[in-house]
């Protein structure tokens, strides 16, 4: 790449490189308007675009914001990414995006790549690790932080940097409260893999609330944290539990994410089991793209985009006392058709 260089512009404009630099890249020490104008028009004419790599090296600040997500196509992460992106624009940063694919090795590689690029800050969304494997990651991150790098995690603290914590446990507990209030009395759970903290927290909150109300889940089925995982789990669940006949109390299933809930509904439908006619279902996240699903899904809304923005803010704002250290993404229960009891009283229930 032989792009136009600052020194070329300076030469063509008949000034020193220092002057050209000061004119073109917002220095407070502004040269005379005549010279400035000459430099500007020369730069324009030559099509000069400053080399950000060289600037970064000279300033030792890249204005890069690193973001690692598990899967950018997952609506959960793409919503967060949107928030990060928006905040980074306001904060004049560029986003360096890495995907970890739920693979611990890739996750470490991603982080290392972001460190190599000397991103001013690194945001890790939906990180996945167990206590053994987290060592390398934490080591890399804390070295990075020691050198002035800023770290923010979304989901769980990793011991370095600040964190945006979604109210997974509390939200799930409030959901259980609301479900009990609505009249449900039989519960089961579909969740993700045991080592996934997001899923674990949600199950924990849900179960704890149930216990307070004097209930406990009749079954807990774990599967891949995906639509297909929910589909499979739906099948396994009905083998483990009794769906009531027309007389009994209906079963209410909490799926640890909307995406799993959708899969479960599809799985039941394939077996002729209707929601909420034969079984009630609640999800988590309240993904916007799924708001028009039929039946409308009871869920727990999380401010995903806002959480992305906050993570960027936490990571980029000074470490001074002013800024909060951690922030909570508050959850809000949305009771909807999928857990409705009204239509559940008999076999003749109509949807709508």
**Which residues lie near DNA (CB under 7 A)?**
2-3, 5-7, 15-19, 21-22, 24-25, 27, 29-32, 35-36, 48, 50-51, 54-55, 57-60
- Residue 295 tokens read as 């039946």
Region from 68-76, 168-176, 191-199, 322-330 binding a second copy, contact rule CB under 8 A? 68-76
Q: Residue 161: name its binding partner from a second copy, DNA, none (Cβ under 5 to 8 Å by kind).
A: none
**Is residue 78 close enough to count as binding a second copy by CB under 8 A?**
yes
Q: Look at residue 133 and give the partner it binds from DNA, a second copy, none, a contact being a CB closer than 5 to 8 Å depending on partner kind.
A: none
Which residue, 166, 164, 167, 198, is CA-closest to 313?
164
Q: Is 89 in the site for a second copy (CB under 8 A)?
A: yes
Q: Which residue has the tokens 């080591």?
A: 139
Q: What are the two backbone dihedrals, phi and then psi, of residue 10, each rounded to the nearest 5 degrees?
A: -60, -45
Helix, strand, coil share of the chain (percent; to 5)? 45, 15, 40
User: Does the protein bind a second copy through residue 34 (CB under 8 A)?
Assistant: no
18 contacts which partner out of a second copy, DNA, none, CB within 5 to 8 A by kind?
DNA
Residue 17 engages a second copy in binding (rule: CB under 8 A): no
- Burial grade of 301 (CB within 10 A; 0-12, 13-18, 19 or more): middle
Question: Within 10 A of 308 (CB to CB), how many other CB atoms are there?
Answer: 29
Regarding 159 and contact with a second copy (CB under 8 A), the answer is no
Dmax (CA) of the chain: 92
Burial 29-49 (b: 16+ CB within 10 A, else e): eebeeebbebbbebbeeeebe
**Three-state DSSP state, 284:** coil
- DSSP characters over 162-180: EEEEE-HHHHHHHHHHHHH
Q: How far is the CB of 57 from DNA (least distance, A)?
A: 4
| CB nearer to DNA: pick between 53 and 345 | 53
Q: Binding of a second copy at residue 113 (CB under 8 A)?
A: yes
Q: Quote the least distance from Cβ 262 to a second copy, whole Å.
A: 5
Residue 318 binds a second copy, judged by CB under 8 A: no
Contact indicator for 250, 214 with CB cutoff of 8 Å: no
Q: Which does 24 bind (CB under 5 to 8 A by kind): a second copy, DNA, none?
A: DNA
| 270 binding a second copy? (CB under 8 A) | no
Half-sphere exposure of 338 (CA within 13 A, CB side): 28
The entry of DNA, a second copy, none near residue 31 (CB within 5 to 8 angstroms by kind) is DNA
Q: In this complex, which beta carbon is closest to DNA, that of residue 139 or of residue 216?
A: 139
* CA-based radius of gyration for the chain: 26
Smaller CB separation from DNA, 32 or 183: 32
Residue 129 Cα distances to 96, 153, 196, angstroms = 22, 13, 8
Shortest Å, Cβ 34 to DNA: 7
How many of the other CB atoms lie within 10 Å of CB of 11?
14
> What is the closest distance, in whole angstroms, from the C-beta atom of residue 226 to a second copy in the complex?
11
- Helices 227-240 & 258-270, crossing angle to 10 degrees? 60
73 binds, among a second copy, DNA, none (CB under 5 to 8 A by kind): a second copy
Cβ pair 308, 83 in contact under 8 A: yes
Which one of 11, 31, 40, 50 is in contact with a second copy (CB under 8 A)? 50
User: For the window 172-201, what string marks contact with a second copy as x by the rule CB under 8 A?
Assistant: ------------------------------
Give me the residues that bind a second copy (CB under 8 A), please: 1-3, 47, 49-54, 56-57, 60-62, 67, 71-73, 75, 78-79, 81-82, 85-86, 89, 94-99, 106, 112-118, 143, 147-149, 227, 259, 262-263, 265-266, 287-290, 292-294, 305, 351
């Amino acid at each position: 790449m032989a792009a136009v260089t600052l020194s070329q512009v300076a030469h063509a404009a008949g000034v020193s490189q220092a002057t050209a630099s000061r004119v073109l890249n917002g220095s407070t020490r502004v040269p005379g308007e005549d010279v400035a104008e000459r430099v500007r028009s020369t730069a324009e004419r030559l099509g000069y675009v400053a080399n950000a790599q060289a600037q970064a090296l000279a300033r030792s600040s890249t204005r890069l914001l690193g973001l690692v997500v598990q899967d950018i196509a997952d609506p959960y992460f793409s919503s967060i990414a949107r928030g990060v992106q928006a905040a980074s624009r306001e904060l004049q940063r560029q986003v360096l995006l890495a995907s970890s694919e739920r693979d611990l090795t890739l996750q470490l590689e991603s982080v290392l790549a972001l460190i190599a690029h000397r991103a001013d800050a690194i945001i890790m969304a939906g990180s996945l690790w167990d206590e053994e494997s987290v060592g390398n990651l934490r080591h890399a991150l804390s070295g990075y932080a020691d050198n002035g790098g800023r770290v923010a995690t979304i989901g769980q603290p990793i011991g370095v940097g600040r964190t945006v914590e979604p109210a997974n446990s509390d939200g799930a507990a409030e959901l259980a409260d609301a479900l009990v209030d609505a009249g449900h009395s039989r519960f089961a759970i579909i969740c993700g893999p045991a080592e996934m903290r997001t899923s674990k927290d949600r199950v924990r909150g849900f179960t704890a609330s149930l216990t307070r109300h004097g209930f406990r889940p009749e079954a807990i089925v774990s599967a891949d944290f995906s639509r297909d995982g929910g589909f499979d789990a739906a099948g396994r669940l009905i083998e483990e539990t009794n769906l009531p006949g027309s007389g009994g109390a209906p079963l209410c299933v909490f799926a640890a994410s909307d995406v799993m809930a959708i899969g479960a509904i599809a799985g039941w439908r394939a077996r002729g089991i209707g929601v909420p006619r034969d079984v009630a279902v609640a999800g988590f996240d309240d993904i916007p793209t799924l708001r028009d699903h039929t039946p409308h899904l009871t869920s727990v809304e999380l401010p995903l985009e806002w959480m992305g923005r906050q993570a960027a803010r936490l990571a980029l704002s000074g470490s001074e006392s002013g800024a909060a250290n951690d922030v909570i993404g508050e959850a809000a229960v949305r009771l909807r058709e999928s857990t409705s009891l009204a239509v559940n009283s008999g076999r003749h229930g109509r949807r709508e």
